[in-house]
Structure 1
Amino acid sequence: MKSPSYILLLCIMVTLYSCGSTTHENAKQSATETQPTPISFWLGTYTSKPDEGFHLINFYPESHTFDSVLIQSDINNPSFVISNQKRDLVFAVQEEGGEKGGSVSSFRFDQAANTLKKLSTSSTKGSGPCYITLSPDEKYIFAGNYGSGDLAVLPIQDDGMLGEAIQTISHSGSSINQDRQTSPHVHSLVFHPNGKQLFVSDLGTDKVYVYDFDPSREQPLSTSDPRHFSVKAGSGPRHLIFNHTGDKIYLIHEMTSEVGLYDYNLDEKKVTFLDSYALTPQGFNGEKGAAEIRISKDGQYLYASNRGDSNEIIVFRINEQTGTLEKIQAITSGGLTPRNFALSPDENFVFVGNQNSDVILAYERNPQSGIIKKTNAELAIHRPVYFFMLGK
């Protein structure tokens, strides 16, 4: 028979062990719960050395810090990078010219391990591809070749491999700027919200071409009605975005640093110019170079970047009834040549890439007012060009 003192000691030991075990488990649970959740995005860049490429970047909202967690260097000039909806495939252009021209590569992304595996590379059948987009069914990649002024359709196989181009379309013509518009220059390819029309901005011809998309056809693109719409000569159409209902088009006029507003009547198949909004102040005489355009998810605010001698992010309020714009803010991009920027998935931050300053920065955004404010968060990256946000 055990003595009472022995039994008491045993009880104390059991109690201490149980408490210690519980405390340990609680600590592990607490650490898991407090682990900061980053905002993640792919960042396309221009390269000049073998160890440069496109990056997977994490931004931590609590500490306002960036971290480059992955770099894919087995690719030249991956200036435009996108992902599929499942986020397990990544596609990047190789913005190259010359005899062989440019290409698109596909990669398998393991999110848990933060690893990329290169799957395939396929030619864009042209030079200087600077923009790619996925079809709504994610079975095709559409690539726009800025240098040669054409576009290519590449099929995506079930395993993520890219096939050879099944369709190419060449533009023709020119416009009034003898330095930049002597030939076509495809600059963006954007699907209408209905997923049935592809709008292709051509800076060299001052036109936006419209193509019908039918995935059941052997060659899925065909000329739409209207075949194209023109912008004011010398404007240089670059990137565009639709409102949620698809009846308004907001188009960056790169060479005049404006946002053009166009009405799109799909039933009547008619595009009508409504107005343009200068990104620069009245009387501005410096170099112009508008670049990117974004709209907040609530449809209330539009953001545009302006390069040249301005180096600013411009914020507009959108009139819900008319779609017209009111400029409410112009803020420095924090560097030179803000080629691209993006809103975080929760839209509490805006990330800006200054191509010629080799830096990306974070801005806090007020969702109610649309106004943005620069933080101290910066990350040195060689020639940042394009953001693709992960998350919803």
Structure 2
Amino acid sequence: MDGTAQRASTGVPAIERDEGWYAERRTEILRSMAEVERHTLATNIVGTAVIIAFSQLLPNAQSFLLPAILRFVAIGLTSLVYVRIRARLATGASIDGVYRACILVGTLAGASWAYLILPLFLEPTFHPAAFLVLAGALIATSLVITNTSSLPQIWVAFCASFLLVFWFGMAGAPEEFRMPVLFGITVILLAVAAFAIGAARNRIFAAGMLVDNRRLGEDLAEALAEAEFLAKRDPLTGLYNRRAMFEGDTMSEMDRHLLLIDIDNFKQVNDLYGHDMGDRVLIRIGQVLRDTLREIGGHGHKAARLGGEEFAVVLCIADEQEADFVAEKLRAAIAELADEFDMAERLGTASVGISTFAGDERISDALQRADNALYAAKAAGRNTVRRFTS
């Protein structure tokens, strides 16, 4: 189903199937396989031990000793690899190297099972234990193929090594039933693989859905974070917007100072140099306000773009002279920006009005006083700071 069809049928945006998506799906499948291995390890060990115990009832019991050792070595190495996989998945580390090791232990596992059943055919016997050993081994290989069938590289490596070892080993079997056994075991293994591949589709689909849901969740969280940012921030400068500045509308704890900053002759900046230049100037002013508030230290300072070329700054400073010093510092820094952009005289500088307001006072009231002080700064020739006096 393509993206358009998916959106039409479900109403959910389509997820892009890129290389990262397929890697995430493989990781989820491997996580599931690792959990299955963890929960079935004891059963695997006991089952293998029982099969080997039955083999010791056969006349050629000694022929099963080396295959038994190899089988337990394969179990141990497989367990270690999956422990490593679970550890890396838990920390979010890359599993590429461990995945290759998983393919190798899968190859060893397939070879070990083939090696374990070879003595049954190299020295044939109709002892009942022989049928139990063969049945147990075929059941075990079927379970391995079923658990790994969601990742072709692993189950193909398992099946290929099983068949190669079995075919090669059967060269020493009695000729009269060599071909029937080779044919029969091969058909059984391939039939199991075909069934497992069909059953694996559900696991692959579930892993894909898990990745889709996670990506949709991440996209939704990102969209919500962006929406929250835009609800409180000016999209051009990144400063708070007018709504965020007046949120709550009252400040507490201490007396503060409100600075109302207006960029001088900003309309002429846009007219003479273009709106792109105007936006660049506003962005740099936003950087100056943030940097200055960071330099003075303390907590609770706030800078906002109220609209157009008008900015507001709340200073959590009790001392009036210190607040006036910060206001003058901001004015001078903005004037330097006018020189930085090589603008004509009296363009791009800032006029600043200051008002002190008590902790329980409405910001809107303090803003009105700061606006009056701003008009006084404009009347004084612009590019200056004025404090409101009653």
**Fold shared, TM-score > 0.5 on shorter chain:** no
Greater share of strand residues, 1 or 2? 1
Higher relative contact order (Cα pairs below 8 Å, separated by 6+ residues): 2
TM-score with structure 1 length normalisation? 0.22
TM-score with structure 2 length normalisation? 0.22
Greater share of helix residues, 1 or 2? 2
